[in-house]
Structure 1
Amino acid sequence: MTRYLLSIYQPDGPVPPAERLAEIGRDLETLNVELRAAGGWVFDGGLHPASTATVLRPGSGEVLMTDGPFVDSKEHLGGIKIIDAPDLDAALGWAAKLTRATGLPVEVRPFQG
């Protein structure tokens, strides 16, 4: 099995209505049950808004710390799911289910080693 990071990208802007969030929550729970039953679930979690981020960068001999996201963009990392899958096709299948559950883009990347 290979370990994959599924990165969920969330647009900036207002939080969806409570009814939509409840629907997403139900769909995610269904996906998580299926993923656990298949033995592929490792870890997952949602993140607070990008405005809560702190970025550390190397400077000339010191570390510079700034508030907010690393880049200015229209979407930011909103959550992650770490899974074990036999191959990239299987990981892409789980990512497609995650995209359908959340309505958000998902990036799939294998871990090294």
Structure 2
Amino acid sequence: MSRPLYQAKAEFFRTLGHPARIRVLELLSQREHAVSEMLPEVGVEASSLSQQLAVLRRAGLVASRKDGSTVYYSLTSPQVAELLAVARRILTEVLAGQVELLADLQAATPSGSVPPP
């Protein structure tokens, strides 16, 4: 029996639920990268980056190739980059709405007074 689509989607988003994995995918959205190039950009230890890359590889989001002793990673689909771009637009809209709400709250509160809880 196959699992429902919503469960597969939840697992997919759990895979994306780590800051290092998101940063790796952002980097790979630009171009193929060697592991050594990603280390300073991702800001984690080499062992942690290897673990995160393994998770992304198992999920089918990245592919690797070896050239000599260097391992290069790339996205398996340009749609991963599109998903990250859509997420960025959503966050931008959400944060813009929060900034507007904050401005409204600040305008409604007299200077120096604390609004009631």
Same fold (TM over 0.5): no
Q: Does 1 or 2 have the higher relative contact order (CA < 8 Å, sep 6+)?
A: 1
More helix, by proportion: 2
Give TM-score scaled by structure 1 length: 0.30
